[in-house]
Structure 1
Amino acid sequence: MVMSKTIMTTSDDTIAYFGGAHILFKRGLHLPPRNVENHRFLYVESGSGEFIIPDERLHLSDRMLLLLSPGVREIRYDDRRPVSYTYIEFSVTRDLITEPWYHVPESSPHFQTLIGLLRSTLHEDGDGTESVILAAIDLTLRHTVADASTPAIDRRIRKALDYIDRNLNRALKVSELAELAGLSEPQFRRIFRASMSIGPKEYLLQTRMHYARRILESEGLRVSDVAELLQFETVYQFSKQYKKVHGHSPTRRR
């Protein structure tokens, strides 16, 4: 795995959005070597293959999120499985990373938020696009800085985080996560907080409400639809939790 030294963006940086798309192929796909002059976010939703640059290869797999540097690159997706991925291409006035790629692990507390930001970029117009990309860059680089100074997340907590990511529509209980991790609930709460600097109950709330905000903004759903999707008994209960995280009711986003 290539680790990257990051160079943080500043208020003087200029972001320019060049394009992006969600790509779906029923069979494998080969993108031949070419020089890409801009940075890219690449999210592989499903599929497997290789990201190839001179002298280095990175295996691609489901739910893999990368920040890619400019340069010559080649991508081969396995022809035995359908391929689904999203990319966002942009330029910035400085190098963001000093290596060819940075892999954002699925266990990152920002992973789902980043996916939502990248998908919402495809629906933004005008200046809003650059603002969304800048937010995604900030979250990505913030995570790389944390990588250098904090210990790896406990594998049992990582398992719970991955489970949360796959079940954002469910009102998960801390006891369920503790059982999944093979820990007592008090042990799980203690180790979770030590790993994430936040308690599991607070993390569940924040993650689900960020998810709710993304689908309200990007899918055109009504507040009542999202409340039902997230398995709240009433719209009032959903709105109360949403306001607790975002500081305003979900109707203000519409």
Structure 2
Amino acid sequence: MQSYSRYFPSDPAASGWGWRILDTGRQQIAPQAKYPDAEHPLSYLFDSDGRRSLDEFQIVFIEAGSGIFESEKIPKMQVSAGSVLLIFPGEWHRYHPTPNTGWREAWVGFRGADATRVMHQFFQSKRAVLQTQHPQEITGLFDRLLHWAHQEIAGRDQIAASHIPLILAFLKADQAELTQPHNSDAAIVQRAKAAMLQQLDKRSDLTALAQQLGCSYSRFRFAFKRETGHAPREFENHIKLNRSRDLLQHHHLSVSETADALGFNSVYYFSRAFKRAFGSSPTEWLKTHQQQSK
């Protein structure tokens, strides 16, 4: 994997957006390799004690491997794949991969009025190490954020920054799930949603899923309807159709490839469901969207 990082110059047009992206990247650190990469700006490097303090928020997602994290408010602890490190401005911290494993990390640094409000209202620096239950979704959001960070278009910074609150929303959902009784209706629905999101290429066996979650199908369906307003199959189709627009637009899959990637029985059924949801066929929607983007 090729490492990538970008540090954004000040953009007056983005100052009032509420979320301002400052830097982002992804890097693979091989076992025994030096860390961090000396190519980062000096203000981002760790000092002789292995510490640093930033004037921005950061989200650091450990996608693979393991390592160590320590901060002003958190004693030294081990982190591993799926761990998310939240960095708060003005607080010293240090982290690094374990020499015998290395790691792959993705990160984004940010500021802004809305960012500050959300970070202080919903997260705490004394609980700055989280274990996400949605690693595939977080990875996908970083994929898209980094895609837009590469682009040289008007509004690039705002488009890239829009992925930050989505990442934080998943982390907040993880926290809420941990505080719910494991067998409550809300917890069952949260776990069902996570299972659906992790296998969008398949049509879920809802009866089997209910059994895995430790409840009857009738309770599962009732809980799902009450918590989401949708029946389980309706909800699954909804998230698949939303994902299909991303596959068509950003991954450049054909209509048939998109239908197959999302586990639809046929292109006809996929196209009919797409048109019912969005008012036009996949081909028509993509053509209109491409024209509007020119």
By how many angstroms is 1:160 displaced? 3.4
- The 3 A distance-change label for structure 1 pair 248 and 90 is farther
Q: Which runs of 5+ in 1 are unaligned?
A: 1-10
Selected match of 1:160 from 170, 192, 195: 192
More helix by share: 2
Selected match of 1:201 from 233, 237, 248: 233
SS across alignment from 1:84: strand
Selected match of 1:134 from 159, 162, 178: 162
Instruction: Report the equivalent of 2:79.
Output: 60
Q: 8 Å contact 2:61–2:106 — kept in the other structure? A: yes
Instruction: Report the equivalent of 2:12.
Output: none
Once the two structures are superposed, residues 153-210 of structure 1 have per-residue CA deviations (whole angstroms, 9 ceiling, x without a partner) of: 6456254344323312111121121122132211222334455564322332233233
Q: 8 Å contact 2:132–2:174 — kept in the other structure? A: no
Higher RCO (C-alpha 8 Å, min separation 6): 1
- The 3 A distance-change label for structure 1 pair 249 and 40 is farther
For residues 164 and 275 of structure 2, what CA distance do their matches in structure 1 show?
23
- The 3 A distance-change label for structure 1 pair 247 and 42 is farther
By how many angstroms is 1:13 displaced? 4.2
Letter in 1 for 2:81: D
Instruction: Report the equivalent of 1:27.
Output: 31
Q: 8 Å contact 2:63–2:139 — kept in the other structure? A: no
C-alpha RMSD of matched pairs (Å): 3.7
SS across alignment from 2:200: coil
Q: 8 Å contact 2:20–2:161 — kept in the other structure? A: no
Return the TM-score normalized by structure 1: 0.73
Identity %, equivalent residues:
20
For residues 15 and 171 of structure 1, what CA distance do their matches in structure 2 show?
36
Q: 8 Å contact 1:40–1:67 — kept in the other structure? A: yes
For residues 175 and 31 of structure 2, what CA distance do their matches in structure 1 show?
36
By how many angstroms is 1:40 displaced? 2.3
Aligned length: 240
Instruction: Report the equivalent of 2:220.
Output: 188
Selected match of 1:215 from 222, 226, 247: 247
Return the TM-score normalized by structure 2: 0.65
Once the two structures are superposed, residues 53-72 of structure 1 have per-residue CA deviations (whole angstroms, 9 ceiling, x without a partner) of: 11304653333445543343
SS across alignment from 2:143: helix
Q: Which runs of 5+ in 2 are unaligned?
A: 1-14, 37-49
SS across alignment from 1:172: coil
Instruction: Report the equivalent of 1:232.
Output: 264
Letter in 1 for 2:80: S
